[in-house]
Amino acid sequence: MAVKIKTKFGTVDIDNDVIANVVGGAATDNYGVVGMASRNQIRDNVNVILNRENYFKGVEVKQHDNEIEINVYIVVAYGNKISEISKNVQAKVKYNLQSMLGVTANSVNVIVQGVQVLND
């Protein structure tokens, strides 16, 4: 499935894997985010933090008419304020989607799948 954007020149199709890479890169670039988590942890292994090649497992893209909804599944570091991390992830994801792909996300939902204690 791809996101379809209508322009004055025609229709642009952006594959969900491309959107997942942009969203995953934006999410993991924030302070306090350990990494991406799978949206279906039981099937994909409960404690796995996704690497760059598997970001599509931690991002869900839904398109309803002309509205795009993004669900991002992350793991955060212990000792950080989860609400602030989530707000930062939402802002960065929206900004990167708009600046890199020209896609405006109507909603970015951040789902924290786990908290991890980092070793010093």
Q: What pLDDT sits at residue 1?
A: 66
In a domain, 55, yes or no: yes
Residue 97 lies in a domain: yes
Q: Are 19 and 93 in contact (CB under 8 A)?
A: no
Q: Is residue 76 part of a domain?
A: yes
Q: How far is CA 24 from the centre of its chain?
A: 5
Domain that holds residue 44: 10-116
Q: Does residue 1 lie within any of the structural domains?
A: no
Indicate whether 96 belongs to any domain.
yes
pLDDT for 12 equals 85
Residue 5 lies inside a defined structural domain of this protein: no
pLDDT at 47: 62
pLDDT of residue 46: 53
Query: Which residues face 47 on adjacent strands?
Result: none
Residues 6+ apart with CB under 8 A from 52: 21, 24, 25
Count of domains observed in the chain: 1
More confident residue, 10 or 50: 10
pLDDT band with cut points at 50, 70 and 90 for residue 44:
low
- Give the CATH number, domain containing residue 83: 3.30.70.1350
The helix (H) or strand (E) run that includes residue 71 is strand 67-77
Q: What is the mean pLDDT of residues 11-25?
A: 89
The single-letter code of the amino acid at 16 is N
Higher pLDDT, 26 or 48: 26
Quote the mean pLDDT of the chain: 86
Could you tell me if residue 3 is inside a domain?
A: no
Per-residue pLDDT tens over the stretch 83-103 = 999 999 999 999 999 999 888
Burial class from Cβ neighbours inside 10 Å (0-12, 13-18, 19+) for residue 32 reads middle
Domain assignment present for 88 = yes
Measured on CA atoms in the order 40, 43, 48, 49, is the torsion positive or negative? negative
